[in-house]
C-alpha cells in the first residue's frame, strides 16, 4: 500500500488520494484516445470537453450567476496582482485592505501602475486579525476594493465580506477558494492560484463579471488583458491542460463530498481539532491569529521559544508529519489543513501536539 505522509504543506499542498489514483489510471491513455491528455491538441474535442466541463463544475459548485466569465490563466495569483491594476486602474485609485503578507504583495504591485489607497489595515497588531468591516474607508471613486480572503502566512481569514457599495469588490481567494460556500454575486472578480484547494500549480482560476471588463490601452500586452481570454474561452494560447484536467478531477471530488456545504463542515471539524489542541494547552501553544479572525485553512501557532519550536518540527517529522514549520516571516508553526487534508491527519496532529506537550511541558 502507498504510504502517504500527514501532509500539512502550505502550497503546493495535499491532493485527494482518489484524485491522484484516477489521474494515474488514465495517465498513459486518456479515455480511449491512444495518448495522454498532455499529448493532445488543446483545440481537439477531447481536451475542449474537459476544459468546458471544468467551467461547468465551477459554475455548479460555486453557484456562479449569469453574467460572469470563468478564465484559466497562467502566471499564478502573483500575475493577477499586476493584471488587476493594469486592466482596471486606468488613472484611478485602487483601494486595498492590508491584512498581511499577500495583501502587501498585491498593493506593492499595484503601486507600479498607479495610485493606491489603504482602506483598512491590521498592521498595528502584526496582522493577527482581519480589520473590522465597520472601519473600512473606501473612497467612492476607487476603481475597486481588493481584499485577501485568507492570509496564508499569518493564518487569518475574512469571516464575512465587506459591502463596498458601488465600488467593485475583488478578492484573492488563493488559499480558501472552495473551502466554504461563497456568494459570487458580491464580487466583481475573484481569483485563485490552484495549488492549494483546486489542484496542482500551473493554472489560476479567475471569475470576473462581464460588465467589469472594459477596453484597455494598447500598451497592455495581449496576454495581460482579461478581454483576450474572455473572447477566446481561455484558449487564446496553449492552456495548462494537465493542471486544468486535475482541477476537473478535484471539483468532481468536492461534488462527491456534498459540495461546498459538505466541505465547509469537514473543514470546520478539521481545523477545530487543531485549534482545540492549542486552546486546551494552557498557553503551551499560542495561536498567532486572534480568535475571531482564525483561518480554517492555515492554523498558525507558536511555542515558548524557538528552540522548542525546532524540537517540535523535528519530532513531528519523525512521526510522519510534513510542512509544519511556519513561514520565515512569521516564524513558529503552521498547519495548512486545506480541503484535501484528511480528518485523520488533523486528528493525528492534535494527538501529537498533546503528546509533545506532555513530554516537553
**What residues between 5 and 24 interact with ligand PMP by CB under 6 A?**
11
Q: How far is the CB of 315 from ligand PMP (least distance, A)?
A: 26
Instruction: Please give the radius of gyration of the chain, using alpha carbons only, rounded to the nearest integer.
Output: 21
Work out whether 77 is an interface residue with ligand PMP (CB under 6 A): yes
Q: How far is the CB of 13 from ligand PMP (least distance, A)?
A: 10
Q: How far is the CB of 61 from ligand PMP (least distance, A)?
A: 20
Task: Give phi and psi for 190, each to the nearest 5.
Answer: -130, 155
Q: Which is nearer to ligand PMP, 121 or 175 (CB)?
A: 175
Query: What 3-state class would DSSP assign to 242?
Result: helix
Work out whether 295 is an interface residue with ligand PMP (CB under 6 A): no
**Residues recognised as catalytic:** 102, 172, 196
- From the number of C-beta atoms within 10 Å of its C-beta (0-12, 13-18, 19+), residue 7 rates as buried
Query: 77 a known binding residue?
Result: yes
**What residues between 209 and 268 interact with ligand PMP by CB under 6 A?**
none
Interface residue with ligand PMP, options 95, 99, 148, 271 (CB under 6 A): 148
Interface residue with ligand PMP, options 122, 152, 300, 345 (CB under 6 A): 152
Query: 152 a known binding residue?
Result: yes
Q: Specify whether the CB–CB gap between 267 and 250 falls below 8 A.
A: no
Distance CA 195, CA 197 (A): 6
Cis geometry, peptide bond prior to residue 273 (ω within 30 degrees of 0): no
DSSP tag of 40: S
| CA proximity to 74, closest of 292, 271, 243 | 243
Distance CA 158, CA 118 (A): 17
Considering only the stretches 42-50, 72-80, 121-129, 256-264, report the one whose residues sit in contact with ligand PMP under the rule CB under 6 A.
72-80
Interface residue with ligand PMP, options 56, 78, 90, 115 (CB under 6 A): 78
Considering only the stretches 76-84, 256-264, 281-289, 318-326, report the one whose residues sit in contact with ligand PMP under the rule CB under 6 A.
76-84
Q: Are strands 150-151 and 156-157 parallel, antiparallel or unpaired?
A: antiparallel
Q: Which is nearer to ligand PMP, 175 or 281 (CB)?
A: 175
Work out whether 155 is an interface residue with ligand PMP (CB under 6 A): no
Considering only the stretches 124-132, 170-178, 279-287, 313-321, report the one whose residues sit in contact with ligand PMP under the rule CB under 6 A.
170-178
The CB-nearest residue to ligand PMP is 76
Q: Specify whether the CB–CB gap between 335 and 350 falls below 8 A.
A: no
Distance CA 108, CA 315 (A): 38
- From the number of C-beta atoms within 10 Å of its C-beta (0-12, 13-18, 19+), residue 145 rates as buried
Task: Give phi and psi for 13, each to the nearest 5.
Answer: -135, 180
Return the C-alpha cell found at 318. 519523525
Work out whether 102 is an interface residue with ligand PMP (CB under 6 A): yes
Work out whether 193 is an interface residue with ligand PMP (CB under 6 A): yes
Interface residue with ligand PMP, options 104, 154, 172, 309 (CB under 6 A): 172
Q: How far is the CB of 332 from ligand PMP (least distance, A)?
A: 17
Work out whether 99 is an interface residue with ligand PMP (CB under 6 A): no
Query: 79 a known binding residue?
Result: no
Q: Where are the beta strands (DSSP E) in 195-350?
A: 204-209, 286-287, 298-302, 321-322, 333-336
DSSP tag of 325: B
Q: What residue numbers does the annotated binding site cover?
A: 43, 77-78, 102, 152, 172, 195, 237-238
Binding residues for L-glutamate: 43
Binding site for ligand PMP (CB under 6 A): 11, 76-78, 102, 148, 152, 172, 174-175, 193
Amino acid at each position: 500500500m502507498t504510504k502517504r505522509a500527514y501532509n500539512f504543506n502550505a502550497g503546493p499542498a495535499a491532493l485527494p488520494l482518489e484524485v491522484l489514483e484516477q489521474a494515474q489510471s488514465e495517465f498513459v491513455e486518456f479515455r480511449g484516445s491512444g495518448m495522454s491528455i498532455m499529448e493532445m491538441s488543446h483545440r481537439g474535442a477531447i481536451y475542449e470537453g474537459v476544459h468546458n466541463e471544468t467551467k461547468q463544475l465551477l459554475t455548479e459548485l460555486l453557484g456562479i450567476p449569469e453574467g460572469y466569465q470563468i478564465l484559466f490563466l497562467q502566471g499564478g495569483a502573483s500575475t493577477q496582482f499586476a493584471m488587476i491594476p493594469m486592466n482596471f486602474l486606468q488613472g484611478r485609485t485602487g483601494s486595498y485592505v492590508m491584512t498581511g503578507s499577500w495583501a502587501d504583495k498585491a498593493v506593492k504591485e499595484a503601486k507600479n501602475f498607479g495610485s493606491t489607497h489603504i482602506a483598512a489595515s491590521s498592521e498595528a497588531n502584526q496582522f493577527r486579525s482581519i480589520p473590522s468591516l465597520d472601519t473600512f474607508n473606501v473612497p467612492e471613486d476607487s476603481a475597486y476594493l481588493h481584499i485577501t480572503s485568507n492570509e496564508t502566512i499569518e493564518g487569518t481569514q475574512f469571516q464575512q465580506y465587506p459591502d463596498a457599495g458601488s465600488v467593485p469588490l475583488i478578492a484573492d481567494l488563493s488559499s480558501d477558494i472552495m473551502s466554504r460556500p461563497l456568494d459570487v454575486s458580491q464580487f466583481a472578480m475573484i481569483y485563485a492560484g490552484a495549488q492549494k484547494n483546486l489542484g496542482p500549480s500551473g493554472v489560476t482560476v479567475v471569475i470576473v463579471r462581464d460588465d467589469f471588463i472594459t477596453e484597455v490601452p494598447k500598451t497592455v500586452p495581449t496576454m495581460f488583458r482579461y478581454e483576450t481570454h474572455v473572447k477566446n474561452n481561455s484558449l487564446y494560447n496553449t492552456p495548462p491542460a494537465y493542471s486544468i484536467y486535475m482541477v476537473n478531477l478535484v471539483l468532481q471530488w468536492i461534488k462527491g463530498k456534498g459540495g461546498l456545504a459538505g466541505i465547509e463542515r469537514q473543514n470546520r471539524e478539521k481545523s477545530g481539532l487543531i485549534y482545540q489542541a492549542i486552546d486546551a494547552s494552557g498557553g503551551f501553544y499560542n495561536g498567532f491569529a486572534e480568535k475571531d479572525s482564525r483561518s480554517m485553512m492555515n492554523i498558525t501557532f507558536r511555542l515558548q521559544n524557538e528552540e522548542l519550536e525546532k524540537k517540535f518540527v523535528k519530532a513531528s517529522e519523525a512521526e510522519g508529519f510534513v510542512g509544519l514549520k511556519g513561514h520565515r516571516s512569521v516564524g513558529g508553526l503552521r498547519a495548512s489543513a486545506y480541503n484535501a487534508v484528511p480528518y485523520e491527519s488533523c486528528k493525528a496532529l492534535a494527538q501529537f501536539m498533546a503528546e509533545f506537550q506532555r513530554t516537553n511541558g
